[in-house]
Amino acid sequence: MGRQVLLIEDEPNITEAIRFLLTRDGWQVATHADGGNAVDVIRAIRPDLVILDVMLPGKSGIDIVRDLREIEQLRALPVLMLTARGQLRDREMAERAGVTRFMTKPFSNAEVLAAVRDLNAQASGG
C-alpha cells in the first residue's frame, strides 16, 4: 500500500499543519509550493496521492489536474483539491478537470486524514 503524499500548497501554515498531521499518521510527505513546475515534480516523485491547492503561483490547481489527466501514467492518480472558495461553480470546474475529491478551507484535521485514508484505500483497491 502506498504511503507517499505530495502536498502542493503555497501557504506555509497550511503546509506545515497537513505535513505534521500526515507524518504522524505514518505518511511520507513531500511538499511543493509552485504551480508552474508542479507536474514535473509529480512526475519525479511519483506520489501515491496529491493534495493540491487551487490558487498557486505559476499555474492553478485546476490546470495542474487537467495536465495530469492527459498523462497516461498519472491519469488515475488520486487528487484531493483544497480551496478557500467553495462555490458550486468552483467545485464543478474541479470535477470536470478530474479532481478525485474537493475540500473547502478551513477544514479539520480529521477531515483531511479521513479523505487521505479513503482516497488511498480506493486507489489501492481496498
Domains of the chain and CATH, by start: 4-123 (3.40.50.2300)
Q: Is 73 exposed, middle or buried (0-12, 13-18, 19+ CB in 10 A)?
A: exposed
pLDDT digits (tens, 9 = 90+) for 91-120: 899 999 999 999 998 999 999 999 999 999
pLDDT digits (tens, 9 = 90+) for 72-92: 999 999 999 998 877 888 889
What letter represents residue 48's amino acid? D
Q: What is the pLDDT of the chain when averaged over all its residues?
A: 94
Q: Is the pLDDT score of 7 beyond 80?
A: yes
The per-residue pLDDT for 2 is: 63
The per-residue pLDDT for 125 is: 81
Q: Is the pLDDT score of 126 beyond 70?
A: no
Are 107 and 18 in contact, with CB atoms under 8 Å apart? Answer: no
Give the whole-angstrom CA distance, residue 86 versus residue 75.
24
Q: What predicted TM-score, i.e. pTM, was given to this entire model?
A: 0.94
Are 43 and 49 in contact, with CB atoms under 8 Å apart? Answer: no
Query: What is the average per-residue pLDDT within 49-71?
Result: 97
Q: Is the pLDDT score of 1 beyond 70?
A: no
The per-residue pLDDT for 108 is: 94
